[in-house]
Structure 1
Amino acid sequence: MGKKCVLVSDCKAGDVISQKVVSKYGATIAVENTIINYYIIQKLAAFEIKYVWIYAAGMEGTPKFISTNFFDVKKNYKENVIEISEVVNDLSKGKKVEVAKMNKISNSIYKAINDEYYIVKCLSELKNSEGYVYSHCVNVSFYGMLLAKWLCLTKRDISQIVEAGLLHDIGQVKVPIEILNKKGKVDIEEFGEIKKHPVYGYNMVKGTNIVSDIVKEVILMHHERMNSTGYPLGKNGDELSIYCKIIAVVDAYDAITSDRVYRKRETPFKAFEILKNNSLEYFDIHVMNTFLENIAACYVGSKVLLNTGEEGEILYVPPHNITKPVVSIGKRYIDLSKEKSIEIKAML
């Protein structure tokens, strides 16, 4: 399918953006494959964006293209969850894992690197349909890949992040299942056991050649924090690699937006708020801001349930206020930054 550059004034509702649109300050306004609506056209003009790239096939060809891409990502995601579960189970039993098998899973994820809109849509739909540990590892790998791309890292670095995401939490299989699946609050002793999972995971791979030393370090240190309050080593931000900082951010985001046995998932917009409030203490501020500014735009077009009981669609996410998007309900526009009593209750 071809692409063409058009004046924003010539855009029509239903056109599909084929290349990310960024403001002159570097904030993402719309991601690739966003379906343009009237509100987005207004905002593009407000940010003085004169031209955008759109798919040239028109409304007849575009939905087919979108569906094909999305279903490919969805199919590969399910296969990746199954395959990484096999790898983790083999590692937990001390069995040898072939490098080729890890490369196959990593390459499957990497080939979707330019489909960020569909990746986010897929993870929103499927992230809790499989066993949490394995789906979480695949989710973190996808999110980590996108964040590494947004940080303009090299292809080699991004590949390392993909593998680190896939294996970062493998040590959880060594934690007693009754602790991981406990519905109530864990006690101090149980939490102490959970905090051992980075060491368990590191020990599972330290004597193998299936991954690099960089990936092994991430497995050990993805719960370290900028202010030295993390575990298991209590490292500070200056001692953490960019790989550890990336996985720390996306690991936290996926955990917050996933259902767990002891709590329900939060919406992405609530997660943005939680992470922004904790970013200075726990996470690298540049890494965190890059993730939030880019991931937020991926939710344009998502269906939501408001606390009023009404169902709507995300029309626009302001780059300067990502926790308060604009929602459409029929022909009404609701700006959540102005309607203080209205909030998103759930993603649909």
Structure 2
Amino acid sequence: MPYIAVGEVKPGSKIIQDVVTPLGGTLFPKGKVLLPRDMEILQAFLIQQVEIEGSESEAKASEPAKSGNKAATAKTGSLINESTLYRNSVLHDEYEKMIALIKNCYRSAAAAPLPILELRNQLEILISHLKEYHVLKFAPRTLNEQDYNYHNAVLSALTSYKIAQWCGYPQKDWLQAAFAGLLHDIGNVKVDPSLLLKPESLTNEEKEEVRRHTTYGYQLLRNVTAINEGVRLAALQHHEKVDGSGYPLRMEGSQIHVYAKIVAVADIFHAMTLERAYKKAQSPYLVLEQILTESFGKLDPVIVQTFIQKSTELYNGTRIRLSDGRHGEIIFTDRTHPTRPMVQVEGTIVNLATERELYIDEIIA
């Protein structure tokens, strides 16, 4: 099978060996059919030659390339239509049922037992569609600012389940980690709602009252069956920090339950990327960077690193909008800079690892 100089490679050629960058990252995987734009990418990475199928196989490979071009042409349609299609999914249907259920639970939690079996059944149905869920892509169809706590609960449940998977914890822990995410802020039902929605800075007394949601949550869950002690401890400990600077008990490292460490990461991510009554939603990529830089000594480093690496594993061609409003697509992600991939914008390759003033504001499709 011949190596061909990049300058002689034609669109439609099929790669039969991974194309590797000088730094060791995989630029194109074995089996990829090269499109016209890929020629520029190869040259940008200073790739000298690639191994492709022979001329007979190359001719066959050009057919899927044509269909790929049609798909690419179709993508030039309305971004609004794409976003609408993405949000018309079974996952969104089940997500909205979970939102309605957890809302009812919050409203009655202070006076009635939690319908834990109903919650479990709906959570299991929701998780059965988890293949449609991507942490950086998923957005609710509608987001009422007053419903922030409910969305944070359900999104933290989904993300905690994924983190438990990604970190290699036993399967028996995955659903319980999701329960921990779902119920971690249940103690807020006993906190004055005006404090939770207050746009101004809280007084010291008000901060103390809000912080009591952790102990309130543990008390509410203490006698609930069908959840394990880790779920209860996540409600109590999700604001603890590994250096002992958190609350309510200033626990350190191994004293904090692993579910609480998982939920802490999920909760912070969604708290920063959801629209709130007094705070605009932030770019998920910027939030990941903030979590990384601000987590030293605060959050579990293995969980943080795993979360960032796994959540940014997007396929090349993923369409994005940059912070300056331009649209483009991801063409390569260097795993040493997972939040700052190379993107192609208006025919130009932009390396976000070096152009630090830019960042990905939103994933379009």
TM-score between the two structures when normalised by the length of structure 1 = 0.76
Aligned length: 309
| SS of residue in 1 equivalent to 2:138 | helix
Identity in percent: 24
User: Aligned with 2:227: secondary structure?
Assistant: coil
Q: Give distance in 2, aligned partners of 1:171 and 1:85.
A: 13
> Match of 2:248, as an amino acid?
P
What does residue 222 of structure 1 align with?
238
Amino acid at match of 2:103: S
Which residue does the alignment assign to 2:124?
107
Q: CA deviation at 1:116?
A: 4.2
SS in 2 for 1:123: coil
- Answer yes or no: is the 8 Å Cα contact 1:140–1:166 preserved in 2: yes
| Cα separation, 1, equivalents of 2:363 and 2:87 | 22
Counterpart position of 1:291:
307
**1:304-343 residue pairs with structure 2 within 5 A?**
304-307=321-324, 309-343=325-359
Deviation per CA, 1:1-21: give whole Å up to 9, x if none: xxxxxx98269xxxxxxxxxx
Determine if contact 1:29/1:318 at 8 Å carries over to the other structure: no
Is residue 320–residue 361 contact of structure 2 (8 Å, CA) maintained in 1?
no
Kindly state the Cα deviation for residue 221 of structure 1 after the two structures are TM-superposed.
Answer: 0.8
Shift of 1:253: 1.1
Deviation at 1:98, TM superposition (A): 3.2
Separation in 1, partners of 2:26, 2:149: 31
Counterpart mapping for 1:29-178 below 5 A? 71-93=89-111, 95-117=112-134, 120-123=136-139, 131-178=147-194
Distance 1:341 1:84, change over 3 A: closer
8 Å Cα contact 1:272-1:322 kept in structure 2: no
Structure 1 unmatched ranges of 5 or more: 1-6, 12-26, 31-35, 51-55
Distance 1:253 1:137 in 2: 12
Structure 2 distance, partners of 1:222, 1:8, is 49
Matches within 5 A, 1:199-238: 199-238=215-254
Q: Compared with structure 1, are the counterparts of its residues 297 and 167 closer, same or farther at alpha carbon in structure 2 (3 Å cutoff)?
A: same
Q: Is the 8 A contact 1:257 1:267 kept in 2?
A: yes
1:9 and 2:15 equivalent? yes
Mapped partners of 2:121, 2:86: distance in 1 = 21
Q: Is the CA contact (8 Å cut-off) linking 1:127 and 1:136 kept in structure 2?
A: no
In 2: Cα distance, 1:68 partner to 1:286 partner: 32
Alignment of 1:187-266 (within 5 A): 187-266=203-282
Bigger-Rg structure (1/2): 2
Which residue matches 1:3? none
Pick from 284, 305, 309 the counterpart of residue 268 of structure 1: 284
Structure number with greater CO (CA < 8 Å, separation at least 6) is: 1
Taking a change above 3 Å as real, the CA distance of residues 210 and 90 of structure 1, as seen in their structure-2 partners, is farther
Contact 2:161 / 2:177 at 8 angstroms: preserved in 1?
yes
Cα distance in 1 for partners of 2:213, 2:260 equals 15
> Which residue of the partner structure matches residue 199 of structure 2?
183
Shift of 1:275: 0.9
Change (3 A) 1:315 1:184: farther
Q: What CA deviation, in whole Å up to 9, does each residue of 1:286-313 have, x standing for no partner? A: 1110001111224862432423x42333
Structure 1 vs Structure 2 CA RMSD:
3.7
Amino acid at match of 1:160: Q
Distance 1:171 1:284 in 2: 23
User: Would the aligned equivalents of 2:265 and 2:299 in 1 still touch at CA under 8 Å?
Assistant: yes
1:21 maps to which residue?
none
Equivalent residues of 2:272, 2:287 under 8 A apart: yes
CA contact 2:322–2:358 (8 Å) conserved in 1: no
Where does structure 2 lack aligned partners over 5 or more consecutive residues? 1-12, 18-24, 29-33, 52-63, 75-84
CA distance in 2 between counterparts of 1:128 and 1:299 reads 31
Partner of 2:320 in structure 1? 303
- 2 CA distance for matches of 1:173 and 1:208? 16
The alpha-carbon deviation at position 175 of structure 1 amounts to 1.4
Per the normalisation by structure 2, the TM-score is 0.73
For 1:249 and 1:235, locate their aligned partners in 2 and report how far apart those are by CA, in whole Å.
Answer: 17
The aligned amino acid for 2:15 is S
Which shows bigger deviation, 71-80 or 158-167? Answer: 71-80
For the structure 1 residues 77 and 124, does the alpha-carbon distance in structure 2 shift closer, same or farther, using more than 3 Å as the test? Answer: closer
For residues 81 and 130 of structure 1, the distance between their equivalents in structure 2, rounded to whole angstroms, comes to 13
